[in-house]
Amino acid sequence: MGKRVVAIVSGETDRVAIPHLCRELLPGVELFEVRKPPGNAVFTPDQAARLVKAAWYDLYGRGTPPDKFVLLVDADASAKTPWLAAKPFEEAVTRLADIPAPKYVAVAVRHLEAWFFGHAEQLREFLGRDAGSVDTSRPDEIDNPKQHLISLLRSQFRVYTARVAGQIAEKLDGHTIQGRSPSFAAFVDKLRNGAG
């Protein structure tokens, strides 16, 4: 496993939640940085490639070049297969021949919020209620998990923000989620070992 890993994600929710979800799963990592597009910029393959370049030259300039990059892409409501969601991002990073660190693409099926349902016991405790009518033993199969989570929070008079995502992720155990969510397990495998 690389000692310096950079994850490139689509937005603030992912940037805040990912370090908490992976905290116990990456022993021996000296740098785990999560970067996202600036502001509310759309996460496109070109934007992802620019983020990889910026992170490489920024960290290389500090004497700590990344050992690998892992891009996290959603296979969201457009019902894309993980392979179709990943393909344009894989093509974009293969064009970065001047950056010698490996670049991998992982897919959250359907959104990162599905992973929260992978540790339903702790999510239930955070929400102060059950997870509703979804099969939490198969979080990757939940239709629109982000909207479902928003509805659950709304029923408790709460609003879903990146800060709330971070609070939820702090309570969850990555090992438990890994056992229930194949897409989270594949993401962690790429963070650890490269191509899963």
**Domain ranges within the chain, ordered by starting residue:** 4-112+178-193, 114-171
Instruction: Yes or no: say if 173 and 122 are a contact pair by the CB < 8 Å rule.
Output: yes
Q: How far apart (Å, rounded) are the C-alpha atoms in residues 12 and 47?
A: 15
Q: Is the pLDDT of residue 36 over 90?
A: yes
Read off the pLDDT band of 195 (50, 70, 90).
Answer: low
Residue 94 is predicted with a pLDDT of: 94
Average pLDDT over residues 155-166: 95
- 3-class secondary-structure state, position 7: strand
Average pLDDT over residues 6-35: 93
Average pLDDT over residues 138-161: 94
Average pLDDT over residues 68-93: 85
CA 93, distance to chain mean position in Å, is 17
Average pLDDT over residues 41-62: 94
Architecture of domain 4-112+178-193: 3-Layer(aba) Sandwich (3.40)
Q: Is the pLDDT of residue 145 over 80?
A: yes
Residue 70 is predicted with a pLDDT of: 97
- 3-class secondary-structure state, position 43: coil
Residue 17 makes CB contacts below 8 A (sequence gap 6+) with 112, 162, 165, 166, 168, 169
Looking at this protein, which amino acid is placed at residue 193?
A: N
User: Across all residues in the chain, what is the average pLDDT?
Assistant: 92
Q: Is the pLDDT of residue 1 over 80?
A: no
Read off the pLDDT band of 78 (50, 70, 90).
Answer: low
Q: Is the pLDDT of residue 57 over 90?
A: yes
